[in-house]
Homo-oligomer: A and B are copies of this chain.
Amino acid sequence: MEFTAQTIADFLKGTIEGNPQETVTNISRIEEGKKGTLAFLANPKYEKYLYSSEASIVLINRNLKLEKKVNTTLIRVDDAYQSFASLLNLYTSTLPQKKGIDTNCHISDSASYGKDCYIGAYTFIGDQVKIGDNVKIYPQVYLGDKVQIGDNTTLYPGVKIYNDCIIGKKCILHASTVVGSDGFGFAPGEGTYQKIPQIGNVIIEDNVEIGSNVSIDRATIGSTVIHKGAKLDNLIQIAHNVEIGENTVVVAQAGIAGSTKIGKNCMIAAQAGIVGHISIADEVKIGAQSGLSHSVKNNGEILLGSPAYNLSETKRSMIIYKKLPDMYNKINELEKTLREIRENIK
């Protein structure tokens, strides 16, 4: 399909600088922009590419001040990243959708599913499972007994959901992710461990996206809960009875230990670890590779380091950490000087 700058600007409520009749048939990254493609500029790190890009149309923020002349047609919008997302969503909504029930899948007689569903080959759907409308379940998925899947949710190949877990509407779970495996609970005896059966479940609310190879354990009692709008990246560990607040983002390879509650709109960066049995306020940011071992009570706090402390404190320590050898030498020097002075004074 071919689109003009005018059509795109109208859709995005944007302003054109350049040729309204410029056309594009594809999308490109600004650093690799080619004629006939549309690119966008949101991250200032990439601004330099704007001036050399051969993309025919570039979406930019309304308030961006150009430092040089550009050769492409610009469309100015309030938020170039969001507008680009809207365009991509429009594009993907036009792609053909998987539909129909494969003959080679197992659906229990007591399970039910809504209209316009796709259920792929070698998928197993247990007893009393309830699946909503327009749900896409790719091949080799496992849904244990009594699992519920809300409308418009997509489960990619190999997703495994244990019995009694509940997934909301408009969720996306990527390949090989596991929901509802047993929490890691053992009562220590005399050198050995007795398993604590995990009889709770996992509840994933609406509009949650979860990456691939994620592990979300079921609660010992009650529920592990991922609240609506939360976004989880790949290879994340969510232990039993954890609660992730609304619209909180957890980046790849982070891990959250048992019974910890994380507030709304938080950002847990990659490879961070959070201990169990603590609670974290709203809008809190935890830096990459941080190790957080205490509750965070103030909304909006930013923490970094392992162990994690307030960002500004930690950053100061991090900078001076590099100067440690220097400091060490200075202290030795000071001691020497002081010794000399004392001897002189005597």
Q: Which residues of A are in contact with B by a Cβ distance under 8 Å?
A: 27-29, 32, 43, 45, 79, 81-82, 84-86, 88-89, 91-92, 102, 104, 106, 120-122, 124, 138-140, 142, 144, 156-158, 160, 162, 172, 174-176, 178, 181-182, 184-187, 189, 191-197, 199, 207, 209, 211-215, 217, 220-222, 229, 231, 233-235, 237, 239, 241, 247, 249, 251-253, 255, 257, 264-265, 270-271, 273, 275, 277, 288-289, 291, 293, 306-307, 309, 313, 316-318, 320-325, 327-328, 330-331, 334-335, 337-338, 341-342, 344-345
Bound CA span A255–B234, Å: 10
Bound CA span A130–B120, Å: 20
Bound CA span A175–B293, Å: 29
User: Does the CB pair B156–A181 fall under 8 Å?
Assistant: yes
Contact of A140 among B142, B172, B338 (CB under 8 A): B142
User: Does the CB pair A187–B81 fall under 8 Å?
Assistant: yes
Chain B residues whose CB sits within 8 angstroms of the CB of A341 once the complex forms: 338, 341-342, 345
Chain B residues whose CB sits within 8 angstroms of the CB of A28 once the complex forms: 221-222
Of all chain B residues, which has the CB nearest A333?
Answer: B335
What is the minimal beta-carbon distance from A62 to any residue of chain B, in angstroms?
15
User: Does the CB pair A176–B160 fall under 8 Å?
Assistant: yes
